[in-house]
Structure 1
Amino acid sequence: MARFLVARVKVSWTALLALAHFAYLLVGATIFQILEREAESNNRNHFQLEKLNFLSNYTCLDGPALEQFVQVILDAWEKGVNPSGNSTNPSNWDFSSSFFFAGTVVTTIGYGNLSPSTVCGQVFCVFYALCGIPLNIAFLNQLGKCLTIHLGRLERGVVSVVPHKQTMEALTVSLFFITGSLLFLVVPPLLFSYVEGWTFGEGFYFAFITLSTIGFGDYVVGTDPEKQYISLYRSLAGVWIIFALAWLALILNMGARVVEHAIGLTQPGFSKQEEDEEVSSSRLEDSSKV
């Protein structure tokens, strides 16, 4: 009877989470459509109007010729060449930019504004990602463990001084979250805003989209041809991404544990089912060793 109840809890929570997941996607799709569709239509109409004005001002060109030139611009952009400026624009493949690109490959951010255009580069990118992504995951896990150890030491040190254990643990975790937020989500956007000429909102948007590994590519540091960047600028941005990803992964892991703990409090069978699964898996491992 108990096993039947546990199985029923497991199925119900799986169905509930699946329903919540798809409902979340539907709500997001609806809101994005409401917010962005009209702006896209306005931008498209504005672009078409600008093309008509351009043709009217330069009568030597016709529609097909202009469309061909637009395609040339799009092809250049897809290959990482900024259409604005001239041939003296900074290279996308100097060492600093290449280091930044390598970081976006192994972290699976993939902004999409730059990619290898040669066959050799594409083949190397495939094998580089195959080896680099697992290496990056292992490094982030190890870095997260180190952060967890230091956080645990900080908690024990605080608890040894103050007797209220749960309160001080909560304060320690909050301090860790606030400090990390300042180091990785507040100060970097300020620097990006200053260097790139963005607003703080745009800098914060870039930081979050980057650290969540979404990587739209609409905002990327060090790509403005009219600005002179220091040589290590994008390399430092790559280092920031690595350490910030480790911090964010730890925060998300803590959040997942809080959710699991809350589910365990409301549904005791859920925690019991997890314990049974852990015991069963450990038994299977022991039997396989024998």
Structure 2
Amino acid sequence: MKKDFSCCCPSLIPSRETACFYLLFVLIALYMLAGAAIFSSLERPAELQAHQLWETRLKDFSQEHNVSCEDLKSLLRHYEEARTAGIRTERGRALWDIPGAFYFVGTVVSTIGFGVTAPSTVTGKILLVFYGLLGCSAAILFFNLFLERVIKLLSLLIFWCQRWRKGPGRLDSRSSDTISNEEGNPSVYQVTLILFVAVLLVACGAASLYSVMEGWTYLESLYFCFVAFSTVGFGDFVSGQREHHADSQGYQVANCLMMLLGVCCTYSLFNAISVIIKQGLNWMLRTLAWMYSA
């Protein structure tokens, strides 16, 4: 019966790539639902508590200074609009001088997008669309080329390790230019492990720098490193925005280099993990096909 159905309706049977796409979509949806339930149970009580505390403080301030709550809320709405232009309660570094603008375009092309700085003029917003289109595309190409360089370096290391173990007289007469066969190429698990260690080392080193320069705890600095390097960019922690950072040229350079290296390594790690996930999806499809045909 199953064979007759597959012969009569071959168009209804998706290809392996299509089935992999559908399966991945379902798993991502389930993963997001599970994450939403977990984070909602963790963060919702704190959100309600923060709202209650804010309303209490607003009423106390209104009564203490004899200001109506509506006038106070109107002033706060104006302040929220002013934050887009870089106005803060505590004076920070200039956002749109050359170093500040360079930091902004760096968050654009790397797709981090902290949200601390954003264009306020219509011309700037229109320009950002075309600037980001080209810049983000070039950055993704750079990240892919970075991953290729990492794989090539690992291939060379594996080749020379094999040559050292076998000895010069017992190795074939191939040169380092002919290591593209499967024996000399690193596995995806080796690449993932190396990249994971690299991301861990860069994040730990960067966290040490940020904890000293920004006044954050080490755990907060590690959290910032993951948010920044993974290009999530929530904007709750942003480096290099204090007023005295404008005079710290060395820290600005180190911050940019840390961001670049961290994003490159993390993007490459995500690519390697995605290959492992696809292998897992193919295994699940083969298992389902075996169970269906049994």
Within a 5 Å distance, the mapping from 1:51-200 to structure 2 comes to 51-59=58-66, 61-85=67-91, 89-162=92-165, 173=191, 176-177=194-195, 179-200=197-218
Tell me if the contact between 2:208 and 2:221 (Cα under 8 Å) persists in the aligned partners: yes
Q: Give the direction of change, closer, same or farther, for the CA distance of 1:174–1:15 in structure 2 (3 Å limit).
A: closer
Name the stretch that deviates more: 108-117 or 170-179: 170-179
The answer for the alignment partner of 2:276 in structure 1 is: 258
Out of 38, 50, 55, the residue aligned to residue 48 of structure 1 is 55
Name the counterpart of 2:34. Answer: 27
Query: Structure 1 pair 56/226, CA: closer, same or farther in 2 (3 Å)?
Result: farther
Distance in 2 between residues matched to 1:228 and 1:126, nearest whole Å: 28
Q: Percent identity?
A: 26
Displacement of 1:132: 1.0
Provide the C-alpha distance between the structure 1 equivalents of 2:225 and 2:196, rounded to a whole number of angstroms: 16
* Correspondence for 1:239: 257
Alpha-carbon distance, 1:36 to partner: 0.8
Q: Partner of 1:220: helix, strand, or coil? A: coil
Task: Give the residue type in structure 1 aligned to 2:139.
Answer: N
Rounded Cα–Cα distance in structure 2 between residues aligned with 1:204 and 1:248: 14
**8 Å Cα contact 2:114-2:235 kept in structure 1:** yes
**1:188-207 deviations in Å (ceiling 9; x for gaps):** 01111111111111111111
The residue type equivalent to 1:212 in the other structure is: S
Shift in Å, 1:93: 1.8
Is 1:6–1:269's contact at 8 Å kept on the other side of the alignment?
Answer: no
> 1:62 is aligned with what amino acid?
S
Unaligned 5+ runs, structure 2: 167-182, 289-294
- Aligned residues of 1:76 and 1:83 also touching (Cα < 8 A): no
Instruction: Give the Cα separation in 2 of the matches to 1:102 and 1:45.
Output: 38
Tell me by how many angstroms 1:51 deviates.
1.1
Cα 1:115–1:234 shift into 2, 3 Å: farther
Does 2:244 correspond to 1:223? Answer: no
Please give the alpha-carbon distance, in whole angstroms, between the structure 2 residues aligned to 1:209 and 1:172.
Answer: 25
* Secondary structure in 2 matching 1:40: helix
d(CA) in 2 for partners of 1:209, 1:160: 41
Output the TM-score relative to the length of structure 2. Answer: 0.77
Larger deviation, residues 223-232 vs 44-53? 223-232
| Cα shift at 1:67 | 1.2
* TM-score normalised by L of structure 1: 0.78
